[in-house]
Structure 1
Amino acid sequence: MIRVIIVDDEALVRSGFTMILNATPDIRVVASATGVDALEVIEAEKPDVLLLDVRMPQVDGLTLLNVLNGRPDRPAIAMLTTFDADEYVLAALNAGASGFLLKDTEPEQLAQYVRALAAGGVVLAPRASQRLLASHPPTASVMDAEAERVGTLSDREQQVLTLVAEGLSNAEIGGRLYLGAGTVKDHVSAILAKLGVAGRVQAALAAQRAGLLPDRDAAS
């Protein structure tokens, strides 16, 4: 059972997400909270996945993310937002969030996203993240350097990177490409090193900018 906590200042969002996720057999929303109460609830329930509103009036999501980053047992965290081009979301991704969800995510996709997060994947809906990146583009020199690094990846590494950006865990990538878990782990480590990034989210964003995920809008 995947244990989920939803932190959002809007009661309608909390109740709606709870209803959708609790209708699935393998996911349970164990608590929901506002930003003010979030840390206490997270400490008590120890969820596998945390869906965290990026903008809240008293204690915002970025503040909570930074506090949780210092804890060894922190859950997988995806930011919730009504904006698909929001500098706060990009800051959260750079600070260690495993992705972001739009609050108008289709109900049937929501459970898929939560499962991806629980399995160690990332969640970046491609069209939304492409608009996000387009609104906050890096400098031309940075883009050129990143494109050059992506170009150094082997065909297999580009396949693995594409699946990382689609939100698949190492085990799922192995199943898709008929590779052992250790081999996938080695590929991911090599990709992160070649791209010069710290984690899967930054690698997924690089894949987005490199055009490895054209016109896709599935869980990623």
Structure 2
Amino acid sequence: MAKGARVIRVVVVDDEALVRSGFELILNAADGIEVVATSGGGQAMDAVRRERPDVVLLDIRMPDVDGLAVLREIRAMAAPPVVAMLTTFDSDEYIVTALRGGAAGFILKDTEPEQLGQLVRTLAAGGVVLSPKASHAIVHARPGRDDAEARRVRLLTPRERDVLVLIAGGLSNADIAARVHLSAGTVKDHVSAILGKLRVSGRVQAALLAQRAGLLDGRAGDRP
């Protein structure tokens, strides 16, 4: 890590101690990341309020406390951290509810260890993390809406479509700016315009709409 670079502070919430310790070990070994607390569901909010992390990795299903309830509490904070849901199942029916509730994505618990650090960095940078294994379940979460959503996508300019595809790819504004050779401020303006035209509240919702409308596989412009 470069001297003076900010360390990404992470809280891991899971009902299984083995999972918590595994994530802690892997992430603490990653450059520029520190797990500042781990907890079960019942102690999650105490840990988040005490540590004020940048990123929370939150189990979506816990026996003592519903992960979705914890997500709602975190999102209600004045300055909430970024939250990604942890799940064992790539078709977990709670995933779409969590994403609509403000989660910035989700991570499968069997994700390759070497990928975890980069996923956390993506989250901390404002990017979206969506497991490709569950893309089918997510794309078809709201059947019957493709045509309406495709019409919204067609409101976007060609440049805005390019930016939306990169948002769906998990890139932050800074990464998008470097990719399309624009200033970060200009990209921020594009993102704001995209969210407004698509009538969504955040990047994850925009990414899901782009998937369902077919933009990510080149079908958006072909729909009636």
> Matches of 2:101 and 2:71 in 1, distance apart?
8
> Matches of 1:144 and 1:27 in 2, distance apart?
42
> Matches of 1:187 and 1:75 in 2, distance apart?
24
Post-superposition Cα deviations, 1:7-45, rounded to whole Å, max 9, x if no partner, equal 000111111111111111200111100001111111111
Higher relative contact order (CA 8 A, sep 6+): 1
Measured after TM superposition, the shift of residue 207 of structure 1 is 1.8
Letter in 2 for 1:24: A
Letter in 2 for 1:41: A
Which stretches of structure 1, 4 residues or longer, exceed 2 Å deviation after superposition? 129-134, 210-214
- Residues 150, 213 of structure 2: 8 Å contact kept: yes
- Residues 150, 214 of structure 2: 8 Å contact kept: no
- Residues 86, 132 of structure 1: 8 Å contact kept: no
Q: Which residue of 1 aligns with 2:200?
A: 197
Q: TM-score, normalised by structure 2?
A: 0.90
> Matches of 1:154 and 1:58 in 2, distance apart?
47
**Compared CA separation, residues 114 and 87, structure 1 to 2 (3 A):** same
Q: Which residue of 1 aligns with 2:22?
A: 16
Q: Which residue of 2 aligns with 1:152?
A: 155
1:3 to 6, 9, 12: 9
What RMSD over aligned residues (CA atoms) do the two structures have, in Å? Answer: 1.3
**1:12-91 matched pairs, under 5 angstroms:** 12-91=18-97
Count of aligned pairs between the two proteins: 211
> Matches of 1:95 and 1:183 in 2, distance apart?
28
5+ residue gaps, structure 2:
1-6, 218-224
> Matches of 1:143 and 1:213 in 2, distance apart?
13
Measured after TM superposition, the shift of residue 213 of structure 1 is 3.6
- Residues 35, 60 of structure 1: 8 Å contact kept: yes
Are 1:185 and 2:188 matched, yes or no? Answer: yes
Q: TM-score, normalised by structure 1?
A: 0.92
> Matches of 2:74 and 2:85 in 1, distance apart?
13
Measured after TM superposition, the shift of residue 92 of structure 1 is 0.7
SS of 1:120 mapped into structure 2? coil
Measured after TM superposition, the shift of residue 153 of structure 1 is 1.5
Are 1:167 and 2:199 matched, yes or no? Answer: no
Letter in 2 for 1:119: A
Measured after TM superposition, the shift of residue 74 of structure 1 is 1.2
> Matches of 2:216 and 2:28 in 1, distance apart?
31
